[in-house]
Every structure is written in structure tokens, then in C-alpha cells.
Amino acid sequence: RLLLPSRASRLPRTNQSTLMRAFLVLAALATSSALKVADPATKVATKVPAAKLPSSAASALALRGGGVVSGSVWLKSFSAFMGMYAVGFVLAPAMVIEQNFDTPYDKYHLFISRLSGIAFLTLIYTFSTMETAAAVPIALTMACLTAVFGPIYAELKLETKPAHKMAFLMAPLIVSGFLAL
């Protein structure tokens, strides 16, 4: 039998809003930390001559303002996006589950959610300490696998709420990640 927390064990509304404020502060701190990521790949790229594009491709790229996504900018965006989810999993896993799924949660869901959030935050930190050229392909692979085994699987096999569709904001992040390779 599934053990469910009683109504009395859930946080009162005031504690939830305090928890949400703490979540937003930590997300802002994680984002500002992600913006400090240095781009060692830029230093290497200045020593390597750029490939010559055909004039039609060069003019098309110039028309739309350039066509290459900076690896460091993409990594910062990835870190902010995934970091906000990870902080939610660590600080307010019950709220994340309630917002996204039509199912009750128990202490096991909360445990594995917090553990997953810590793992994601550790990976994001690790990516920020790596050279951008090495971190981007790994982070992009993580984003693709997370999308398939996370939101896509959940939409096909689990009972989700409309708020869960927000996870599909990963799609532009993944597309731009391929442009950053």
C-alpha cells in the first residue's frame, strides 16, 4: 500500500511561499554563477584560422546576424534552465511533483527527487569548471537524454498536468545546442 503524507504534514501556505522565495533566490544565484563561466574555447579559437565560407553562405549568415551559437552562451543558458529545475527538486520536491503530475507522492518520491536535484547541480557545476569545448557536447547529450527519458516519456506514459508542458521549453535549448557544436 502506498503511504501518503497526511494533510497535517504538508507545509502551510506561508511556509510554501517562503520556500518558493528561497527557491527563486537560489535560482538567481545559480544563474549569476553560470554567467561567470569563462570561455577557454574562445582563446583556442583565436589561434586557429577560421574556415572560409562561400560568399552566398557568408552573406546569408550576415543577413540574419550570424549563424553560430556561442558555446559559452549556450552552456550558461543550459545551466540556468536545468539549474532552476534542480533547485526545485532539492528545495521543494513535493511542489514540483504536485505541479506536474496527477498522482500522490510519498517519502520515496521526495527522497529520489532531492537526490536527482543534487546530481544535476553537481553536473552543472562540473560543466562550469570544464573547458567549454568539452562541456557543450556532454551537456547537450545530457539535455537530449533528459528530454527523452523525462518530459517525453512522462507525457506518453504518465498522468501529467498542463504545467508539465513547460518542460518542452527544452526543445529550443536542444536545437540551439546543436548549433553551438
Rounded percentage of the chain residues whose pLDDT exceeds 90:
54
Using one digit for the tens of pLDDT, what is the confidence trace for 8-23? 445 555 565 666 666 6
The confidence band for 150, taking pLDDT boundaries of 50, 70 and 90, is very high
Using one digit for the tens of pLDDT, what is the confidence trace for 40-84? 544 444 444 555 656 766 666 555 444 578 899 999 999 999 999
Q: Which residue has the higher pLDDT, 105 or 24?
A: 105
Most distant CA pair in the chain, distance: 69
The b/e string for 24-48 (b: 16+ C-beta within 10 A; e otherwise) is: eebbeebbebbeebebebeeeeeee
Give the model's pLDDT for residue 69.
86
Tabulate helix, strand, coil % of the chain (nearest 5). Answer: 75, 0, 25
pTM greater than 0.75: no
Give the model's pLDDT for residue 68.
76
Q: What is the mean pLDDT of residues 132-141?
A: 95
| Phi, psi for 18 (deg, rounded to 5) | -65, -40
Q: Is the pLDDT of residue 91 over 90?
A: yes
Q: Is the pLDDT of residue 38 over 80?
A: no
